[in-house]
Structures are given as C-alpha cells and as structure tokens.
Structure 1
C-alpha cells in the first residue's frame, strides 16, 4: 500500500569486506525515497543455475533499517527471505546487515583472505518496489585486490553498475588476488579471471576458450552480449560451475586441470556454461519468465535447458578442434553405459524429472526411480536431433530448433511445449506431438545401435568384456567404511532385503574391511550364496545374498563395417565435421 508511485532513482549497494579471515562482510542497501507504507525487502531463496530452494538467508545477521535521517525503522521478518519495514512518512530507506560468506561449493558466496566470490542471490537484498531501478555497487576490499564482473564498471575499480536487479543478481563479482587475461573472438570481448593456485595452463585455456567462443554462430545468428567473463576457481576441493547472464564461474580442485581427462572435463564445462548464455539466459521456458526469486519456478522443460546444453557442449568442442572425434564418442559411450545401468529410466520421464528438479536430492531412492535432466535430457535431445535430421532429409537439425527459439522467444517472452512443437512442425512438416508423448512425457529407452547406424556408427566392446562378481550395491565414499550408499533395484542386495544405510561387518562370519570387501567377493563364484552380517538401524541382522555377474569392459563407438555415402552425409549434417575414420575403420586423428 502506498500514497504514490515510488520515485525513479538508483538503488545503491555497498559491501565492506572487513573481516575476510572470518568470511564476514557488512552490506548496506540504500533505497530511494518512497511513499510506501510498508517496504518489503527480500533475499532470493534460490540462486541462478541451481533449481532448488536453499537456506540462503541463514548467512544474514544484524539486519537493521533506518530512514533518511538515520533513525531506526520498525521491521519484522515475514518469510525466510523477506523483511517488511514500516514507514510512517515518505522517506528514503537504508538497510544494513552482516553477511557470512563461506559457501564456495554452492558457488553462492565465499570470502577469505585471498578473494571474495559474490553471487548476487546470496549477497544483495532487493525490494520488489525498486527491482527495475538502476543499480550501483561499491566495494571496500583489502589492498591489492582486483575486481571483475559481467556488469559494467562503475566510477572506481571496485564498483559496478547494472540497469536493474535482474542483471545484478545474474552477474557475480570476483574480487581478490587473481590473474586476469582478455581476448577477442568474433567481434566480442572476453575476459578470463583465475583465482587460486593450480596445475592449469593459462595459455592452453585461453587458446581453447577463444576457439569455443568463435563457434556460437554454428547454432545462433548473433550474440546476446558484447563482453563475457570466464571466472575460474582452483580450489581445495570444491567443484562445479554456474551459468550467468554474461559470465560463468567454473570450479575444480586445484590439481585437476592437467591430465587430459581432467582438462576435457573443465573445457566441456566451459562450453556448457557458454551455451547457457543463449539457452536459458536469452530464451527460456515460460515457467522461468520472469524469474520469481522467492519460490520455485516450475516448468517441465528443464531437460531442454540443461540436457540440450549438455548435448551441444561437446559438439562445439568438436567443431572447434578442441576435442577429437574419438574423445567425443568416448564421452557418448559413457553416457550410454550410465543410461543402460540406470533403473530409473523405466520409471521417470524427462518432463517429470524437470518438474521434480526443485525437490530432487538424488539419494538412494532417486538412483533407482529417477532420471537426471542433464544426462537423460542429453539423450532426449539426441533422439530429437536424429528424428529431425531423418524427417527433413538432413535439411534441418536440432540446432535449428534452438536458433528459432532464440529468434522468436527472447526474454521477456517465454516458450511453451506447444511452441517447440510448432517450430518442429514448421521445420519438418510433421506433427511431433506423438514423438513428444513417447520420448518426453513418458519414460523411454533408446535403440542406440539403430540410431547410430544412421551416421555409420555402431556400439561395441573393443575387447571382450570380462565378468566380475556383483552384489548389486555400492559403498559410501563419504564414510570411508562399509556403509551402503545405494542398492540397485532388483539386484542381489535388493532381493536380499539390504537397504541404503546398512553397515556390513562380516562375510560368512568373518570380519571384513572397506578396502577388502571387493577382494573378498572375488573369492566366490557366480551363483554362490554368502551370509552377510550387517547393522541396520543399530540392530545386527544376517541375510543370505546370491551373487551374480556383471560385464566389465569399455563400450566404444566405432564405424560400421561398410559405411555408405548416405551415412557419411548424415554424420556430417549431425555434427558438422567430416567423417573421422579411414578406409580401415581407424580414427584419422586420435590423442591416444
């Protein structure tokens, strides 16, 4: 309720990083004069890129509100991320609070003696009444620190400005002792900021990021940014990455950059987050437009947001020459194996997984009854791509769907399932509702060899797989003991009545240790029954478990015996690169 409309003026933020050793800072927000009788102030309950409600406000203490004369204003907390300030007369309002920032692993906020990483959702409160007003951020940081963000620079080297809160909350700040580099690609400016010591090669990373950044035109016609910032954290253990409006943060343990597999993981992640500048930041499902920072943003299309991004990430690397064809298909082979060993693919659809993402914890129940919007969304995207290529005689691919979404549904618009199906019909002349029902709205299993045969490929084991004894369960890596983490549905442990959380103490009456359990199982044969002694809810129980076998070997993707010109043409239309095998079926280029 108000007397008049709030005035148009800047919202000014100030953050004083005064106790970095204790992860503390002091934040103030100055709101313009308002005639509102109650000014509502919020801190988001979720952050960009992580579709789960989090206890973000737990890092806030010493909240206070004053008027334009510095006099205290009465306030009350009305929700986990909401404070309401009572105003007796028109006045400007200043809100101050202490911030605790030690959530590096969540990529939310982190302050120590060497840097501060500040994701706006975990740091800066806002008022809905002023969320579309211009924003300035000024920081007081220790001497020698350097500050970077996707936001425009302000009046000092430690200040930034944004047109509104939506840009502020989606433009994290990295300030501290760091290395900074820049390059240009396709008439766009890029910056790379490294924090933390590690075994990364800055020259190689800059070279490959430049190559990736020049590949965007293979999907989209233009760019949603003029400047983009890659923030790289070499950590003591935290990992993960988050996309933002015109920047990204990528974290890896400090010595996990140099080995080829580690580096591919890093550079693939960088490609993934870069693609998000279009897919979810520039166009996104209707349920995510506009962002509601105080509650879940429900949509059954998160599999397109994350899974399709995962599907495109290595294609950009392949086209850029950063990843070889063999490395590309090694990654796809692993995805196929994971899919085939996931009981949840028979239970949950990608649409349902998208809606369930906000409450997903991915525990033992999820392993057996769920799918992942990233991995299963990748496979749904692949199935859609192959269908579209076939239906259009290679004239159109799934890339054209995303190009159309970017052209027709830029934020603040949001697209619906019907809009995607309309684009598919325009491209193919075919009604894709039946396809959608089969592969999106219900669980699906892909005939991988049948699909890959279109591109002249087949799955195979390069070496005859050996079999290993299988008990159908995995041990917890967190506990470092014999606590059971997951029990595979309908496997030996499942059938024996063993559950996650049980702790194994003996096999056939003899004590067993965590590092010796697998060796102990290998003393038996397939079909043998063993007696396991376990603690279950602190009670000792004994079960009889019949061992089975499981193939163990590396699945690979190779060329079919006699590839046709049509198959080579499909391959080229699919991935945008030339056929990678010689006449003998060997890889033309390989890192092996």
Structure 2
C-alpha cells in the first residue's frame, strides 16, 4: 500500500492497533529538532514473576556489537492499572521488570537518535530513520507475537516502510523479527513507484543532492528485473529502496523487503560516483535473497543479544559482492568495460594486500565480529567482501569447468534458496553436498585449499578460461615503490605494507615523515617525491617514531606505472568465448582486433 495520506500530530486510535497486533509500539516524533523521541510499548499480559525487556546489542547487516542501549533514558514500566513497576538493568541491552501478579506491561522511554552513519536511528527536523534494533525494545517472551507501530509525526511528513500498512503512519508486522528488519523512513522526502517482473517497488530519497530521480528509477527498474538470472521466485511482494543524500555519511544496509543506501549528497552525477551508488543498490538487493531469505546456520535464528559465529560469512557477503556487477551487466546498466575495470581493481587490491597470505576466508568469517581495520588488517587479515568475492569467482570458474558450462555458481545459490529458506540455516557440509550434486565431484579438497587456507589464485590461468588476460599497456614501466602510505593531508603513516621496503627498513604505521635525503617532505608532495627515484635506489628517510627522531636507510622496490586492465587474449577460441558467456550471460564483447565493442 502506498503511504501518501497525512496524519496530523495524532496517533491512530489505540483500539484499532489492538485488532492488528499483540505488541504495540507508539513513537512521538513531533519535536524532532534535538534528535529526541518518546517511545511507548504495550506488552501483552504476562504470568511470569518478571519480564525481560531487551534492546538488541547489534543490528542486522553489521556484524559488530554496538552501544545501542545508551540511546535510552527515562525508562519506566507500568502495570495495566498505570502503577509503576520496579525494574533493574541487568545488561547493556536488558531491563528486568518485576511483576507481583499477572498483568499487561507498558514500557516508556526517551530515545536519542543521532546515529545516521550507523544506519540505526536518526531524527532531525526533516525526517526520522528508524531501524527497530536501535529504537524499539522487545521481550523474548513475546518476540513471535504480531506487532503494530504507530507514528506521531509533523503534518508534512510522509512515512514509508517495507512493512504492511493500514494507515498513513501505522505499520504492522508478523513479529519482532520482521519489525527489526523493516526500517521506517518518515519525513520530507521524494517518492517514486515503479514495477519490475511483476513486483512493486518504491524509491524514497531523503535529502537534497545532485541525483537524477528519473535515471535512478530507470536503472533500478532494470536491476530489479534481473533477479530471475539466479533465483526462482521472490521472498517479497513489495520492495522499498531508501536513499539518504547526506553531508558525509555513506554505506548501506540490507533488510527483508527494503534497503537503505547512504551517499554524500553531491556524489551522484559523475559516472564514477553514480556507479558507486548503483552497485551498492545491486548489492543490497541481492542480499534480499542471500542473507535475508537464506543464511548460514550460525545466524539462524538471529540472537539480538550476542554474536552469531559462522565460517560462511564470505558466502553471505563476498558472493553478494560477486553478483552485484553481474546483474547490472546483464541489465545493461553498466558496460563490459566497466565490469572488467571493476574486476581488475579487485585483483589489484588482492595482490597488494599481504593479509590474504595470512588468513583464510573461513577464519575471517568466524572473526568478523571483532575484525578491525587499518594497518594490522591490511597486513594480517583477509576480508569477507574482497577475498569472498574472489573465492566466489574461483568457485564459479571451477563449477563451469567441471560441468562443461552446464552449471555455475548461480545454481549453487538457487539451490540454497530452494532448500534452505528460513527458518532453516545451511552449514559447510550442506554447501559441499550441493556442490557434489551439481558437479558430480567431491569439493572437499577444493574447499580446504581455497576456503580453509589463505586464498592463492593463479589469475593468468583462471582468466584465460574466459579468454581474458592481465595487461598494463604499452606505456607501462617500473617505477619506485616505498611500501608505505600516509594519512590524507598528513605525513603520519597509516599503512606500512608487510615485507615491503619500508617494513624491512623498520618503519611502522604511526611514524611521521620529516625528510627524504635530508630535504623536507610535505604531505602533498610525498608520493611525487618517491617517483623522483629509481627502483633499487636506497634513500635516507628521516622520521619521528614514538616521538624520537631517527634516520633509516630504505631500498626502494618497483611497481607498475599503469593500472591493470583485463583484455582479450590473442585469438580467443570458441571455447573461451562460450565460457565467457556462460559466466556473465552476455556475448563476447571484443571485436576481431581485441577491442571492446561500442
């Protein structure tokens, strides 16, 4: 149902909500300028001696414990007669309410919502974004009960969600799990409705920016019609793309029937920037199946009060990244050139990340809840998105080869959706069994080499199957490389590549550069200064390390001057062209001279 009818600063009648849900939420957003709201929750009659009231300690789509409970103040509990009930906070996301006799319980609290970048909650004078994990408490006793959410909002605001609605600002869901995965966007926004492959879609954009709504709708329509390239059927009837054009926040989160995508407000017009948006939209759309409709056993069901550990997050996230550009390519939203440029960047990043030699994608998946970033991650960690993408690529190529192009990685995901829809979760043994059924081969050894061990790929041999090869162009030459990177606008080092020149010289992240060969170096001129030298040269680097001035000798290595490109092999065979089409679903894109067709 489209939500276009205003409701002026009033709640929908309480008796009406009682007909739709057993747990009733009301949130007052009528004074939003200071990021504050009042929340009321009516829980059904409880026969227990105490009622546990919880707020999740993490939100879906972000595998990290967050301080969500800190947003709650003025917590109060009452019985059905309005008498105050004693309560005690027992954990960061838990309140224990004492009950002396059976009663319904009403909980009220003030919510502070200023976590836009975390995509948890944000309230200001123009809108409110509400992800239930950071907004609405629940009781485990009533987690499976139907819920109702009523919003009290300023007159000009409009409310949208993937949930069902019976009124302009009244949403209903089958249970808390649906509520927590169906965020609400309410406020001043732009709205468009469209259809694709028999499903209804909406685009809701909050914030001003240099976006083109018509272009967004056109491409989202094309994208949304491509799901059938992988899966048979849809896990939703209606889907909402929510977009925040912001002053800095960026990122995205998938949900059951919607997604929220955040981009800096002036990062839509240029093609490079727009590709970032539409690839993100594709990624989150794919998640509607991969993660929201089927996911690893360790995340089934969601435990909102603690981590869910699994070695298969690389499938949940990495293969989503793997498919995102493929669907856009099939839809004609991106060109073969743009697809190959993206793959080339991923290969380059992988080859320049020492952590890929240390940690497997299985270990990275299990450790994602405590994964950090920065220098340590680059040097000692694998990434479930980046290396998960390339593991998916390798598995796809292996399936295509083993089945003579009859079966691909898409078939594995189609089977996971068919056989492991929630509430069933899949395990490693399930994935390996599907691989055996699809290929007729045992993938145990493959799994050990590519998933349980650090990923090592022979890109030349792998790409050749699809008629591609790596190329740096005729203008490429070897240039000097120091193996260290400064923070933007600073001479303090953010990364020092493991076993690179700076690493071997004893330089570490956090050191601050002062001079090279006795001459002052600037933040803006550091990269250019290194190019003044030749690979093999030894330079004297003056720096502060732990506030101590020192000088070290650094012998420069080499790196290519040009970016990696993926081009056609010389005289590609019919077999290679057929492999390419089975892989990506489009015809061979190069002409007889090896140039990409227009």
Superposition TM-score tier, normalisation by shorter sequence: over 0.9
Cα distance between partner residues in 2 of 1:62 and 1:11: 21
Cα distance between partner residues in 1 of 2:81 and 2:550: 70
Consecutive unaligned residues in structure 2, runs of 5 or more: 1-19
Provide the residue aligned with 1:305 in structure 2: 316
1:340-366 deviations in Å (ceiling 9; x for gaps): 111111111000010111001112111
Asked if 1:29 corresponds to 2:41, the answer is yes
Q: 1:257 to 1:540 in 2, by over 3 A?
A: same
Cα distance between partner residues in 2 of 1:436 and 1:546: 39
Q: Within 5 Å, which residues of 2 pair with 1:203-282?
A: 203-282=214-293
Cα distance between partner residues in 2 of 1:501 and 1:84: 45
Provide the residue aligned with 1:504 in structure 2: 513
Instruction: Please state whether the residue corresponding to 2:367 is helix, strand or coil.
Output: helix
Provide the residue aligned with 2:592 in structure 1: 583
Q: Aligned match of 1:120 in 132, 152, 162?
A: 132
1:213-251 deviations in Å (ceiling 9; x for gaps): 111111111000000000011110111110000000011
User: How much has 1:518 moved relative to structure 2?
Assistant: 2.4
1:296-334 deviations in Å (ceiling 9; x for gaps): 100000000000011111110111111111111010010
Asked if 1:439 corresponds to 2:450, the answer is yes
Q: Aligned match of 2:82 in 57, 60, 70?
A: 70
Cα distance between partner residues in 1 of 2:236 and 2:444: 34
- Is the 8 Å Cα contact of residues 18 and 24 (structure 1) preserved in structure 2? no
Provide the residue aligned with 2:13 in structure 1: none
Q: Within 5 Å, which residues of 2 pair with 1:472-511?
A: 472-477=483-488, 480-511=489-520
Q: Aligned match of 2:367 in 332, 339, 356?
A: 356
Cα distance between partner residues in 1 of 2:550 and 2:123: 47
User: How much has 1:536 moved relative to structure 2?
Assistant: 2.6
Cα distance between partner residues in 1 of 2:575 and 2:178: 47
Asked if 1:539 corresponds to 2:548, the answer is yes
Cα distance between partner residues in 2 of 1:524 and 1:585: 35
Provide the residue aligned with 1:51 in structure 2: 63
Consecutive unaligned residues in structure 1, runs of 5 or more: 1-7
Q: 1:491 to 1:23 in 2, by over 3 A?
A: same
Q: Aligned match of 2:332 in 294, 304, 321?
A: 321
Q: Aligned match of 1:338 in 344, 349, 353?
A: 349
Q: Aligned match of 2:209 in 169, 194, 198?
A: 198
Q: Within 5 Å, which residues of 2 pair with 1:397-476?
A: 397-476=408-487
Deviates more, 1:9-18 or 1:356-365: 9-18
1:510-547 deviations in Å (ceiling 9; x for gaps): 43321122233334443333333323333333323223
- Is the 8 Å Cα contact of residues 478 and 535 (structure 2) preserved in structure 1? no
Cα distance between partner residues in 1 of 2:213 and 2:87: 49
- Is the 8 Å Cα contact of residues 9 and 32 (structure 1) preserved in structure 2? no
Provide the residue aligned with 2:379 in structure 1: 368
| Number of aligned positions between the proteins | 579
Deviates more, 1:292-301 or 1:451-460: 451-460
Instruction: Please state whether the residue corresponding to 1:527 is helix, strand or coil.
Output: coil
Q: TM-score with structure 2 length normalisation? A: 0.95
Cα distance between partner residues in 2 of 1:29 and 1:147: 20
User: How much has 1:21 moved relative to structure 2?
Assistant: 1.8
Provide the residue aligned with 1:4 in structure 2: none
Provide the residue aligned with 1:514 in structure 2: 523
Instruction: Please state whether the residue corresponding to 2:192 is helix, strand or coil.
Output: strand
1:531-571 deviations in Å (ceiling 9; x for gaps): 33323333333323223332221111111111111111111
Q: Aligned match of 1:555 in 533, 558, 564?
A: 564
Asked if 1:379 corresponds to 2:390, the answer is yes
Q: 1:143 to 1:219 in 2, by over 3 A?
A: same
Provide the residue aligned with 1:178 in structure 2: 189
Cα distance between partner residues in 1 of 2:496 and 2:347: 21
1:177-202 deviations in Å (ceiling 9; x for gaps): 00010011111110000111111111
Q: TM-score with structure 1 length normalisation? A: 0.96
Asked if 1:169 corresponds to 2:180, the answer is yes
Q: 1:525 to 1:561 in 2, by over 3 A?
A: closer
User: How much has 1:9 moved relative to structure 2?
Assistant: 6.0
Cα distance between partner residues in 1 of 2:29 and 2:323: 39
- Is the 8 Å Cα contact of residues 18 and 26 (structure 1) preserved in structure 2? no
Cα distance between partner residues in 1 of 2:560 and 2:426: 43
- Is the 8 Å Cα contact of residues 21 and 172 (structure 2) preserved in structure 1? no
Cα distance between partner residues in 2 of 1:509 and 1:67: 76
Asked if 1:152 corresponds to 2:161, the answer is no
Provide the residue aligned with 2:295 in structure 1: 284
Cα distance between partner residues in 2 of 1:390 and 1:508: 54
User: How much has 1:452 moved relative to structure 2?
Assistant: 1.4
Instruction: Please state whether the residue corresponding to 1:41 is helix, strand or coil.
Output: strand
1:115-144 deviations in Å (ceiling 9; x for gaps): 111111111110000000010001111220
Instruction: Please state whether the residue corresponding to 2:524 is helix, strand or coil.
Output: helix
Instruction: Please state whether the residue corresponding to 1:566 is helix, strand or coil.
Output: helix
